[in-house]
Amino acid sequence: MISTPDRLIRNIQVLMKEKDIENVTELARRTRIPQPTMHRLISGEIKEPKYALLKQVASYFNIPVSELVEKDIGSSKLSSNVIKAEEKFQFKAIPVLGNAQLGSEGYWEALEYPIGYGDGYINWPTKDPDAFALKCTGDSMKPRIKNGEYVVIEPNHTYLPGDEVFIKTSEGEAMVKTFLYERDGLIVVISINENHPPLHFDINKIEKILYVGGIAKPSLYDCL
């Protein structure tokens, strides 16, 4: 089905605003659409979305597909809401500050650069002025994170149980896990690969724990 990409994106943004959906990752989770696919749709990378994909999005918002792709939904809303939604999801150049490589015992070794000395950029919608990305090397996080993809990290975004987080220990071990809870001085997380048991970390040995805003495809990389 051929539709106007800008109108489709604008309509989805307005609908997200109405349901208080803060980011593309959350929308993907609610609609049960793979996050990379949703990101490509929102970014306009998918020029002619398949009907099945549009139907899945429209069904979640309880509107016909024709309304999603043909109507200017924002025209019947307050113009300020449309402006805020568009600003909220404006794409920015997120610096790539290093690599996350598979190291000993299945952990990653985060090879970060100092702020301002990154290695290219990832185009990503975020409100976090300190957002950055790490390039992932290895296959330890498949199928969630594939070799060559980028983890987008938003340091100023709060994380809740069930969110994916980037963890770096005082010993230099780094990983992406799902945050469960913090209790009695311990951080408890589970692997994205559910075949692995939960992990417990002494909070005093955690150097940083940061919110993961999403996984970016290599095609979004720019070596500016």
pLDDT at residue number 27: 92
Say which residues have a Cβ less than 8 Å from residue 223's Cβ, sequence separation at least 6: 120, 121
Q: Which of the two residues, 115 and 51, has the higher pLDDT score?
A: 51
143 — pLDDT class (breaks 50, 70, 90): low
- Cα 51 to Cα 16, 26, 57, 65: the distances in Å are 20, 22, 10, 8
DSSP state letters, 28-80:
HHHHT--HHHHHHHHHT--SS--HHHHHHHHHHTT--HHHHHHS-GGGGS-HH
Q: What is the DSSP letter of 114?
A: P
User: Any idea which of 14-18, 28-32, 109-113 has the lowest mean pLDDT?
Assistant: 109-113
Average pLDDT score over the chain: 78
pLDDT at residue number 40: 86
Task: Please state, in angstroms and rounded to a whole number, the distance separating the CA atoms of residues 154 and 77.
Answer: 30
Percent of the chain past pLDDT 70, that is, above it, reads: 77
Does residue 100 register a pLDDT over 60? yes
Does residue 104 register a pLDDT over 50? no
pLDDT at residue number 211: 93
Q: Tens of pLDDT along 199-220?
A: 889 999 998 899 998 888 888 8
* Contact of 201 with 173, CB cutoff 8 Å: no
Entry pTM:
0.57
Domains and CATH numbers, the chain: 5-88 (1.10.260.40), 91-222 (2.10.109.10)
